[in-house]
Each structure stands twice: as C-alpha cells, then as structure tokens.
Amino acid sequence: MQKPHSREDLSYMVEMIGITKRFPGIVANDQISFAVRPGEIHALLGENGAGKSTLMSILTGLYRPDEGEIRLRGQQVHLQSPRDAVQRGIGMVHQHFKLVNSFTVAENILLGLQDGTGEVYQLHEINKKIEACSREYGLQLDPQAKIWQLSVGEQQRAEIIKLLYRGADLLILDEPTAVLTPQEATELYKTLRRMAELGKSVIVISHKLSEVLEHTDAITVLRSGRSVGTVATSGTSEQELTQMMVGRMLCPVLDKANVMPGKPVLTLENVTALGDRGLPALKEVTLTVNGGEILGIAGVAGNGQKELAEVIAGLRAIESGTKWINSVDHTGDTPQAAIHAGVSYIPEDRLGTGLVPNLNAVENILLKMYQKMPGWRINWSQAARDTTAIIKQHDIKIAHLDAPVKMLSGGNLQKLLLGREIFHHPELIVAMYPMRGLDIGAIETIRKLLLEVRAAGKGVLLISEELDELTCMADRIAVFHEGMVMGVVRPQEVTIETIGVMMAGKRMAVAMSGN
C-alpha cells in the first residue's frame, strides 16, 4: 500500500477513508472520508437519507464497507461485529435507547459485558466503579435505580455510562438532544466537553444547526451519500452550513405549463397544533394554497412539516386557528371528512400508513375508495377495474394483482399510492417527501403527475427537504422553522442562500399573496 503514517495521521482517533457502501438500488455512502481527533467533538450533519446512519453503522461494526478503510489510532482495522467495535473502544448511543426497563442501571451495564468466562460479577464492586465513573464525568446517576423510574435524560446518561464503563474512547451519539429539554441538552454537552477534555472523541449526529455551532469543534456535512466537506466550527456560519446541506442542482427541464392561479383551495389561519409529545409543533401558521399552484414547504426535517400535513388531512387536531377548504370551514374535520372534502395525502411513511403491506393492490386501491361506494357492500369488480386502470395509466410494474404490495419496488409503490390519490380528482394534494428514496425515472414520473394536478387547476402542497426540488417545482415556497412560517417567497425572486437563511430561523415577509 502507499504512504507510511505521517505524524499527523497518528493524531487522529479514527479515520474513515474512501468509504463506499451500496445497497440494492442505491449508493448509501459514496467515497466518504472523515477523521476525528482525540479531544474533539465532531458533528455529522445532513438531511435524512444523506448517509449518516449508514456511515455510523459501518463505524460500529454493523455493516462492512464495500470499499475504503477504517483506521483506529492510526491502525487499519476490519470491524467484524458490533462487539468487535465495542472491544476496540467504539460506542454508540442510539436515538432509541437499548436498555431493559425493568433492570437497574447497574444490571443494564452488566448486560453486555459477558465475555464467556462465566465469572461471577460482584455487584457492589460494580456499583462502586459506576459511581466513580459518574463522578469523573459529572454524570449523576443512582446505579440502583430501575430504568423505568428514570427520566429520558437520565436514561441517556445510563447509556453513556454503559459505554464509558466498557472503555469507549470514541462515543457516537445519534440525535442526542432530540428527546431532551433545553436544560438537559446544555447539561449533556457539558458532559461531552468534559469527556473530550479527558482525551476522548465524540461524534454527534444532528441536524440542529444552532446546537452544533455552539457546542462542537468540527463539522462534517453529508449530502446524498457524499461528503460535502469538513469545516472548523469556529470558521463557519448557519448560512454556510445550510447551503452545504441542501446543495444546489440545475433545474431539470420541466414541462411546467403557465397556469393562472385560481381561487384559494386551502387556507390556514393562525393554526396551532401539538406534536406527538404534547408540545406545540405548529405555531400560528397562516398560509394559502391556490388552485393551479404548487406551494412548496421548505425546512429542515422536524420543524413542523409532518404536523402540517396531518392537520390538513384531518389526522391531527387543531388547537386554535381555522382551516378553510374551498372557502368552507373545515377546522374540526375527521380524516374521513377531509377525504370527502377532496384532500389527498401522500404520507411520508408510504408502506404502513399510505399502503397496507400485506394487502394486495386491489385492496390497497380500495382503501381510499370503499367509502365512496354506495350501500354497505364492497364492489370488488369495480375495485379491480379501477386498479387495472391506475396500473395501466401510470405504467406500474406489478406481477400479480393479488400479491401483497410489500413485494413492489419503491418507485412502483409510490406510483400506486399517487395514482390512487389522484384517481378521484382531488381538490388538494398534500405530498410529503414524495421523491425520497426513488430512482431518477420514478422521480420524473412523480414530478409529472404533480404538475398535471397543478395544470388541472387543483392545489398541491409539496413538502420537501431538497431545495432544488422545491425551486424547480413550486410556484411559491413557505419556509418553516420550529413550527413557524418564516416567510413565503417566489423561487425565481430569491436565491437558495436566502431560503437557507430563513430555514435557519430568520423571518422574511415576502410574496404572501398568491396573485
């Protein structure tokens, strides 16, 4: 092989060089390189699907890379299994904790320790060691407490102590603050800083820009499976990071007809709604979607997009404010009432919410049509006719009509779902990340279908993480940050940088009206 280790190489805790990992149909990691020094808190930043999880799964021994090498303290290693990685001092705190609820902290720490020698552990010694460990890093925790008695923040501490106890030098935390209160988050970063000062390395996966900027030393940005680059935290800004995250791509030639925007199809007025954890996820949102128009929703994931879509589809209750569909008050709609009002919804979770994996194509088409059938019976022959029509119209590759739809590819699933949603000519279609995970061909088809809905004078609300996607498709873009509308812009009048600044939380009042 080539060069001997230079002195600089030795100063890294871990180096990942040219890592490539392919899954059927996609390249999850494409020649990614990055390195972390001892004593450094390093952020891994990127949108959903950018390749962060895959990369960390490789580093924790869950996947093996197709190409590239990993060096640990300057030595090349081939990680065989997660246990192998743990033994080499690599530990990860997952977003969903891996703790046994009915066990104590000490017992949970013991759990992963068995090394096959059959030795009996002295619990009180272990308790002492745990207490020493918590003192050293300022992680207050009672080793005798049962996990279910602990707050989420304390459970996270238990996870961290578990790793430290096993001698981890490199700690990876996946979205550690997603479940924490702001105070707990500050506390967590204090602990991480103390660990870094003691010579450990910390990798934090996140998409919270402000937090990353405040607490880390270096930031590596991933986008669609590639590394965009590593920057020193002190020398960068939210704007630069946003731009690195969302990138830019030339608009493909789209057959975007000139459509005069019509009357408002959907109007939200000061709508507030709660998220799954009971905290406000939408705050005083006001926006309008006109007929013959695509309104894009831009924003970093988790800033209220899902709640917005669910409020419109009647799946989530509105706390205050008003929802109008075609100038009729639909604030208190049930999902069924929203369907009858002509709202179609492409959920983020296609297989499981939008489609039922174990039912066949006809039954899945029926899902949104059976209520429109007269009487109390199901008209199976009509359902089969509609299904055949949808399959033909959108060129969906399907082997057997009565095979469960989970057998279909991602692109065909999405075409089936979208085909069903536009079959009855809805007034408004809410599409959440409709292109995510699809190949180029399927993306083209989905774009074309959405533009057809627009050309037919209906409304489209397109939620996307890809700014390029939005600037190409949307007539106007509403930018979301922490559940609030930062402003509504016309893509041809602003730069991607401006949208990026708004996504980071800067308010701008532009182009509020549709006409």
Examine residue 317 and tell whether it contacts another protein (CB under 8 A).
Answer: no
Q: Mention every residue, 6+ apart, whose C-beta is less than 8 A from residue 224.
A: 49, 50, 51, 247
Examine residue 8 and tell whether it contacts another protein (CB under 8 A).
Answer: no
**Alpha-carbon distances of 382 from 280, 345, 386, 388, rounded to whole Å:** 43, 23, 6, 10
Contact criterion met (CB below 8 Å) for 488 and 511: yes
Q: Which is nearer to another protein, 123 or 367 (CB)?
A: 367
Examine residue 111 and tell whether it contacts another protein (CB under 8 A).
Answer: no
**Tokens describing residue 431:** 């599409």
* Count of residues engaged in binding another protein, rule: CB under 8 A: 36
Q: Which is nearer to another protein, 24 or 118 (CB)?
A: 24
Among 49, 296, 347, 426, binds another protein (CB under 8 A): 347
Nearest approach in angstroms of CB 402 to another protein is 10
**CA pair distance 514, 262, nearest whole angstrom:** 9
Examine residue 363 and tell whether it contacts another protein (CB under 8 A).
Answer: yes
Q: Which is nearer to another protein, 356 or 384 (CB)?
A: 356
The CB density around residue 497, as the number of other CB atoms within 10 Å, is 13
The CB density around residue 511, as the number of other CB atoms within 10 Å, is 16
Name all contacts of 394-397 with Cβ < 8 Å and 24+ positions apart. 394/418, 394/419, 394/445, 394/449, 395/445
> What is the DSSP pairing of strand 428-432 with strand 343-346?
parallel
Q: Mention every residue, 6+ apart, whose C-beta is less than 8 A from residue 183.
A: none
Among 170, 273, 365, 366, binds another protein (CB under 8 A): 366
Examine residue 355 and tell whether it contacts another protein (CB under 8 A).
Answer: yes
Examine residue 332 and tell whether it contacts another protein (CB under 8 A).
Answer: no
Examine residue 235 and tell whether it contacts another protein (CB under 8 A).
Answer: no
Q: Which is nearer to another protein, 113 or 337 (CB)?
A: 337
**CA pair distance 201, 38, nearest whole angstrom:** 5
Q: Which is nearer to another protein, 264 or 314 (CB)?
A: 314
Among 181, 210, 336, 382, binds another protein (CB under 8 A): 336
Q: Which is nearer to another protein, 263 or 397 (CB)?
A: 397
One symbol per residue from 399 to 438: x for binding another protein (CB under 8 A), - otherwise; what is it? Answer: -x--xx--x-------------------------------
Q: Which is nearer to another protein, 82 or 335 (CB)?
A: 335
**CA pair distance 170, 85, nearest whole angstrom:** 10
Examine residue 338 and tell whether it contacts another protein (CB under 8 A).
Answer: yes
Nearest approach in angstroms of CB 414 to another protein is 15
Q: Which is nearer to another protein, 373 or 509 (CB)?
A: 373
Q: Which range in 113-121, 156-164, 369-377, 451-459 contacts another protein by CB under 8 A?
A: 369-377
Among 44, 139, 313, 449, binds another protein (CB under 8 A): 313
Nearest approach in angstroms of CB 314 to another protein is 8
Q: Which is nearer to another protein, 11 or 336 (CB)?
A: 336
Nearest approach in angstroms of CB 250 to another protein is 36
Q: Which of 65, 60, 81, 57 is nearest to 27 (CA)?
A: 65
**CA pair distance 39, 191, nearest whole angstrom:** 13
Report the length, in residues, of the chain. Answer: 515
Contact criterion met (CB below 8 Å) for 428 and 292: no
Among 76, 122, 181, 353, binds another protein (CB under 8 A): 353
Q: Which range in 6-14, 77-85, 285-293, 352-360 contacts another protein by CB under 8 A?
A: 352-360
Examine residue 370 and tell whether it contacts another protein (CB under 8 A).
Answer: yes
Q: Mention every residue, 6+ apart, whose C-beta is less than 8 A from residue 373.
A: 379, 382
One symbol per residue from 23 to 62: x for binding another protein (CB under 8 A), - otherwise; what is it? Answer: ----------------------------------------
The DSSP output letter for 4 is P
Among 27, 213, 301, 356, binds another protein (CB under 8 A): 356
**Tokens describing residue 12:** 């890294």
Nearest-5° angle of CA 258, CA 262, CA 265? 125
Examine residue 179 and tell whether it contacts another protein (CB under 8 A).
Answer: no
Examine residue 373 and tell whether it contacts another protein (CB under 8 A).
Answer: yes
SS3 readout for 127-180: HHHHHHHHHHHCCCCCCCCEHHHCCHHHHHHHHHHHHHHCCCCEEEEECCCCCC
List residues binding another protein (CB under 8 A). Answer: 64, 313-315, 334-339, 345, 347, 349, 352-359, 363, 366-368, 370-371, 373, 376-378, 380, 400, 403-404, 407
